[in-house]
C-alpha cells in the first residue's frame, strides 16, 4: 500500500511539475506578445536542463494451478522491485434473478435454475494500480454489496449502473459501474474481497505486479519461493489478451458472447442439467471424418469438419485414433473445478484421450496441433497443467 501511494504521488508530482512549467511558459509568451512595438524584445530565460521522467513500471501476471500459492503472493508483495501488487480471487457465482435500475425484471431463470457467471474479488485499493482512465475511478469506488460489470458482460446482462443481481443464497449486489473487460481480467463481474467471501469467491487465482528492473531476475526470485514441483506461469502485458489465470483459452464471457448463454442446475458429481431450449437451438449431431458421430455446437461443426478433412487430405489420419475420441458436448464443470467446462457449450473435443491423460506430458503429434490451430483451436499440451488431447475453440479459422 505504501509503495503504491508513493508511486502514485511520484507520478502525480511529475504531472504537476509539467503543468506548472507549461503555465509559466505560457505567461512568458503572453508577456512577449503584449509588449508595445517600441519595447525591447523580451528574452526568455534559458530552458532548464531536461530531467528524464522515470519509466512506468511494467506489469506482470503470476499464477499457479489449483489456486495462487500463498508463498508466491507474499514474496511478490515483499519484493524490493515490486511497486504494487493486487491479488485476485475468482470463481463461479449463480445468478437467479436480475433487475434493471427501474426495478423491471431482466433475467428470471425458472426456480431451481441459475445462470453461471465468472466473478472476481479484488481489493479496490491495490487494484487501482492496474487500471486507468474512467475504470480507475470505478474500481476505486467499489464498495461492499456493489459490483462492476465488464463491458461484454453488461451487454449480455442488459444492465448498467443501478441494476441489481440476485445470486444463489439470497445475496443481491448493485451494479455501480461498467468497466473494460481487461480491467477485471475478462471476468463477468467484480466485487470487493469482503463481498466475494460471502459469495464463495475466496480462492486466490493470480497476482498482478507493477515492477521495475529486470523481469527475469524477478521471475527467478519468485520461482525460488515455490516447491520445485510447483509450476508457475508468468505473463507480461501484450503477451496474452487478458491478464488472468487460465489465459490460454477464452474467458467465459467471450464464449457466451459467441455461442450463447444457458441456465443450469446441479446434478450428481461434476455434471449438471442444462437448459433444453438452449440445447435445441445450438447443438447438432453430425458425422465427422475419422471420429464419426459427434454432438457439438452448430457454430463449430464447420471448423471441426474442416480440420479433420485437412488431416485426411494430408495423409495424417493415422495421427487420430477413432477409439480415442472422448466427446465434444458434455454439460459439466471443468476437471480443475475452476468453472464451466467448454464442453458444456460443445466447442471442445478430446482426441487421442487414452494416450494423453490430463496432467501428463503430451504425446500429441505437432502436425495435428498445427492443423487444428489453423482451424481456430488451441490444444492443451503446453498448458500449466497439461491437457493434451483437449482441443478448444479460441478464434475463427484462418482464411
pLDDT, one tens digit per residue, over 361-376 is 556 889 999 999 999 9
**pLDDT > 70 fraction of the chain, expressed in percent and rounded:** 83
Q: Which of 190-194, 213-217, 350-354 has the least mean pLDDT?
A: 350-354
DSSP-assigned letters across all residues of 316-351: -GGGS-GGG---S---BB-TTSSSB-GGGGT-EEE-
Residues 6+ apart with CB under 8 A from 130: 59, 84, 86, 183, 208, 210, 243
Handedness of CA 314, 316, 317, 320 (dihedral sign): negative
Q: What is the mean pLDDT of residues 264-273?
A: 91
Q: What is the mean pLDDT of residues 153-182?
A: 98
Phi, psi of 246 (to 5 degrees): 55, 40
Tell me the C-alpha distance between 342 and 334, whole Å. 8
More reliable by pLDDT, 13 or 97: 97
Q: Is residue 257 scored above 90 in pLDDT?
A: yes
Which segments of 192-245 does DSSP mark as H helices, in order?
A: 193-199, 215-223
Produce one character per residue of 269-281: b if its CB has 16 or more CB atoms within 10 Å, e if not. Answer: eeebebbeebeee
Tell me the C-alpha distance between 62 and 207, whole Å. 5
> Which H helix or E strand runs over 340?
none
3 state DSSP class of 11: helix
Tell me the C-alpha distance between 265 and 200, whole Å. 17
Q: What is the CATH number of domain 269-393?
A: 3.30.1380
pLDDT, one tens digit per residue, over 200-248 is 999 999 999 999 999 999 999 999 999 988 999 999 999 999 999 999 9
Q: Which of 35-39, 236-240, 290-294 has the least mean pLDDT?
A: 35-39
Q: Which pTM value belongs to this model?
A: 0.84
3 state DSSP class of 36: coil
Q: Which of 232-246, 269-283, 345-359 has the least mean pLDDT?
A: 345-359
Q: Looking at the chain, how many residues does it have?
A: 399
Domain residue ranges of the chain, discontinuous segments joined by +: 1-54, 58-236, 269-393
Tell me the C-alpha distance between 87 and 73, whole Å. 7
For residue 354, the 8-state DSSP code is: G
What is residue 338's predicted lDDT score, i.e. its pLDDT? 72
62 and 220 Cβ atoms separated by less than 8 Å: no
Amino acid at each position: 500500500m505504501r509503495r503504491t501511494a508513493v508511486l502514485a504521488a511520484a507520478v502525480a508530482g511529475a504531472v504537476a511539475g509539467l503543468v506548472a512549467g507549461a503555465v509559466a511558459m505560457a505567461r512568458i509568451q503572453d508577456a512577449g506578445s503584449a509588449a508595445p512595438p517600441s519595447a525591447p524584445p523580451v528574452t526568455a530565460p534559458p530552458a532548464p536542463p531536461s530531467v528524464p521522467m522515470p519509466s512506468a513500471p511494467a506489469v506482470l501476471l503470476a499464477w499457479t494451478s489449483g489456486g495462487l500459492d500463498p508463498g508466491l503472493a507474499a514474496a511478490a508483495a515483499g519484493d524490493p522491485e515490486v511497486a504494487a501488487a493486487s491479488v485476485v480471487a475468482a470463481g463461479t457465482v449463480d445468478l437467479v434473478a436480475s433487475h434493471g435500475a427501474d426495478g423491471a425484471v431482466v433475467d428470471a431463470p425458472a426456480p431451481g435454475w441459475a445462470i453461471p457467471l465468472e466473478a472476481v474479488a479484488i481489493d479496490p485499493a491495490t487494484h487501482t494500480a492496474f487500471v486507468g482512465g474512467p475504470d480507475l475511478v470505478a474500481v476505486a469506488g467499489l464498495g461492499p454489496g456493489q459490483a462492476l460489470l465488464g463491458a461484454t458482460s453488461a451487454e449480455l446482462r442488459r444492465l448498467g449502473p443501478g441494476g441489481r443481481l440476485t445470486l444463489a443464497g439470497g445475496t443481491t449486489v448493485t451494479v455501480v459501474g461498467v468497466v473494460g473487460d481487461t480491467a477485471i481480467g475478462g471476468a463477468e463481474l467484480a466485487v470487493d474481497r469482503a463481498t466475494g467471501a460471502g459469495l464463495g469467491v475466496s480462492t486466490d487465482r493470480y497476482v498482478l505486479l507493477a515492477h521495475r528492473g529486470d523481469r527475469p531476475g524477478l521471475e527467478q526470485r519468485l520461482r525460488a519461493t515455490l516447491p520445485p514441483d510447483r509450476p508457475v506461469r508468468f505473463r507480461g502485458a501484450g503477451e496474452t489478451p487478458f491478464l488472468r489465470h487460465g489465459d490460454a483459452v477464452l474467458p467465459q464471457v467471450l464464449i457466451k458472447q459467441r455461442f450463447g448463454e444457458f441456465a443450469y442446475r446441479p446434478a450428481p458429481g461434476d455434471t449438471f442439467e442444462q437448459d433444453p431450449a438452449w440445447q435445441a437451438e445450438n447443438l447438432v449431431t453430425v458425422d465427422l471424418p475419422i471420429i464419426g458421430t459427434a454432438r457439438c455446437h452448430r457454430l463449430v461443426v464447420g471448423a471441426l469438419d474442416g480440420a479433420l478433412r485437412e488431416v485426411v487430405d494430408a495423409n495424417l489420419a493415422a495421427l487420430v485414433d477413432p477409439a480415442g475420441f472422448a466427446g465434444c458436448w458434455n454439460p459439466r464443470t471443468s476437471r480443475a473445478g475452476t468453472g464451466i467446462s467448454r464442453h458444456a457449450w460443445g466447442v471442445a473435443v478430446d482426441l487421442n484421450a487414452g494416450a494423453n491423460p490430463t496432467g501428463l506430458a503430451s504425446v500429441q503429434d505437432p502436425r495435428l496441433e498445427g492443423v487444428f490451430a489453423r482451424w481456430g483451436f488451441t490444444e492443451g499440451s503446453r498448458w500449466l497443467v497439461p491437457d493434451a488431447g483437449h482441443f478448444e475453440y479460441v478464434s475463427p479459422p484462418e482464411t
